[in-house]
Amino acid sequence: MFNGLEYLGEAYLSFLNPTSLMYGMGGALMGILVGCMPGLSATLCIALLTTLTIKLPTNDAILILICSYVGTLYGGSRSAILLNIPGTAANAASCADGYALARRGEAGRAIGIATSGAFCGTLFGVLCLAAFTASLAEVALSFGAFEFFWLALFGVTMSGSLVGSDPLKGWLMGALGLFVAQIGQEGLYAYDRFTFGIHELSGGIALIPALVGAFGFAEVLTVLADPVERKLVELKDSTLPRFREVAQYWRTVLRSGAIGVMTGLLPGVGEDSGAWMSYAAAKATTREPEKFGKGSIDGLMAAETGDMSSIPGHIIPALALGIPGSAPSAVLLAAMILHGVQPGPMLMVTHPQFVYHVVAMTTLATISILIFGLFMVRPLLYVLRIRRTVLMPIIFLLTTVGAFATQSRLFDVYSMLAIGIGAFFLRRKGYPMAPFVLGLVLGSLLDKSLRRGLVLSDGSLLPFFTRPICAVLATITIFTMLMYVPLFNRTVKRVVGGALGSLRRLLPVRRA
Partner 1 sequence: MTDSATPPHASPAAPYEEPSSAPAHGADVAQPPRTDFIAAVLWIAFGIAVAIASWRMDRLTNQDINPYTIPGLLPGFLGLALILFGGLMLIRSWRAGALTATGRGRPNRMTASELRRFAIITALCVVFGVGLVGHGLPFWAAASLYVATTIATLQYPQRKAAGQVARGIVVAIVIGLCAGWAITLVFQDIFLVRLP
Hey, which residues between 163 and 182 contact partner 1 (CB under 8 A)? 164-169, 171-172, 175-176, 178-179, 182
Total residues interacting with partner 1, rule: CB under 8 A: 79
8: contact with partner 1 by CB under 8 A: no
Helices (H), 37-140: 42-52, 58-82, 92-103, 107-140
Q: Regarding beta strands 184-185 and 192-193, do their DSSP bridges make them parallel or antiparallel, or are they unpaired?
A: antiparallel
CA-closest candidate to residue 307, choices 128, 100, 157, 93: 93
Nearer to partner 1, 317 or 402 (CB): 402
Beta strands in 165-234, from DSSP E residues, in sequence order: 184-185, 192-193
User: Nearer to partner 1 by C-beta: 222 or 353?
Assistant: 222
Using CB under 8 A, which residues numbered 463 to 482 contact partner 1?
A: 480
Angle subtended by helix axes 297-320 and 327-338, to nearest 10: 30
* Cα-Cα-Cα-Cα dihedral sign, residues 287, 289, 293, 299: positive
Distance CA 291, CA 416 (A): 44
What is the distance between the alpha carbons of residues 317 and 295, in angstroms, rounded to a whole number?
35
Interacting stretch for partner 1, rule CB under 8 A, among 66-74, 197-205, 257-265, 484-492? 484-492
Helix (H) or strand (E) holding 477: helix 468-482
Q: Vertex 425, ends 420 and 429: CA angle to 5°?
A: 140
Q: How far is the CB of 103 from partner 1 (least distance, A)?
A: 20
Taking CB under 8 A as the binding criterion, the range among 6-14, 186-194, 240-248, 463-471 that sits at the site for partner 1 is 186-194
| Of residues 380-419, those binding partner 1 (CB under 8 A) | 387, 389-390, 393-394, 396-398, 400-401, 404-405, 408, 410, 413-414, 416-417
Nearer to partner 1, 378 or 493 (CB): 493
Quick check: helix, strand or coil at residue 185? strand
The least distance separating partner 1 from the CB of residue 505, rounded to whole angstroms, comes to 24
The one among 104, 251, 378, 493 contacting partner 1 by CB under 8 A: 493
Question: Does 511 contact partner 1 by CB under 8 A?
Answer: no
Site for partner 1 in 220-279 (CB under 8 A): 220-228
Least distance from partner 1 to the Cβ atom of residue 287, Å: 25
**SS3 call for 286:** coil
Longest dimension (CA), the chain: 79
Footprint on residues 354-383 left by partner 1 (CB under 8 A): none
Residues 45-84, interacting with partner 1 (CB under 8 A): 51-56
* Contact status: 39 vs partner 1 (CB under 8 A): yes
